[in-house]
Amino acid sequence: MARAEAASVNRKSDIVSAAIEIFAEIGYYRATTAQVAERAKISQPYIFRFFATKEALLLAALEVSWTRVVEAFRRAVDLASPDQLERRLIEAYVEILAAHEKEILLQMQAQTIQEAPIRQAMQDGFREVRGMVLEAFRAANMENAEERTLLFLARGMLCNIATSLQLPELMEGGGRK
C-alpha cells in the first residue's frame, strides 16, 4: 500500500510540474488539461483523479511556487548574520529565478487573474513573503525596515520582469554587490 501511495504522490507532483510549465508558457486561460496531461505523459482523465478543476490545479501549482520562495527565504534568514541578511535574501531569489523560472513566470501571470481563489492565493503568498522579510529586517535592527522591505519586494518584481522579457540589464547591480 505504501508503494501505491508514493507512486500517487509522485504522479500528482508530475502533474503539478507539467501544469507549471504549460501555464507559464502559454497562460492559464489558453492552457488545457489535455496539454498538461500530454506534458506529464498521462491521460487527461487521470488529472481529474487529483484535481477537480483546472483552477484547483493552478492553485496547487501556485502553492508549490510560493512554498519554494518562502522556504528559500527562511533558509537565508536562518543562515545570515544581520549585515548579510539582505544580500542573502537577494541571492536566494536569484537562485530561484535561475532554477525555477517557470514558477516565477506562473506567479506573474497569476497576478492578472481575477478569480477570487487565485487572487487570494497570490495575496496570501505576497503577504507571507512581505511579513517574513519585514520581520527579519526588524530583527536585524535595520533602519527603515518597512521601506527596505518595500524596496526589496520591488527589486524582486523588477527581476521577474527582467526575466520575463529577457532583459538581464534590468537586474545588473541588483544584488551583485
pLDDT digit string, tens, across residues 131-177? 999 999 999 999 999 999 999 999 999 999 998 898 888 876 544 43
- Write the single-letter amino acid at 157: M
Q: How far apart are CA 29 and CA 25, in angstroms?
A: 11
Tell me: pLDDT of 130 over 50. yes
CA distances from 141 to 88, 122, 126, 137, 146 (A): 16, 29, 22, 6, 11
- Domain 2-170: state its class: mainly alpha
Alpha-carbon distances of 131 from 49, 57, 134, 152, rounded to whole Å: 35, 26, 5, 12
How high is the pLDDT of residue 158?
93
pLDDT at 174: 47
Residue extents of the structural domains in the chain: 2-170
pTM attached to this predicted model:
0.89
For residue 173 the three cell numbers come to 547591480
pLDDT confidence of residue 49 = 95
Q: What is the pLDDT of residues 19-77, one digit of tens each?
A: 999 999 999 999 999 999 999 999 999 999 999 999 999 999 999 999 999 999 999 99
What is the average per-residue pLDDT within 82-111? 94
What is the phi/psi pair of residue 81, to 5°? -80, 160
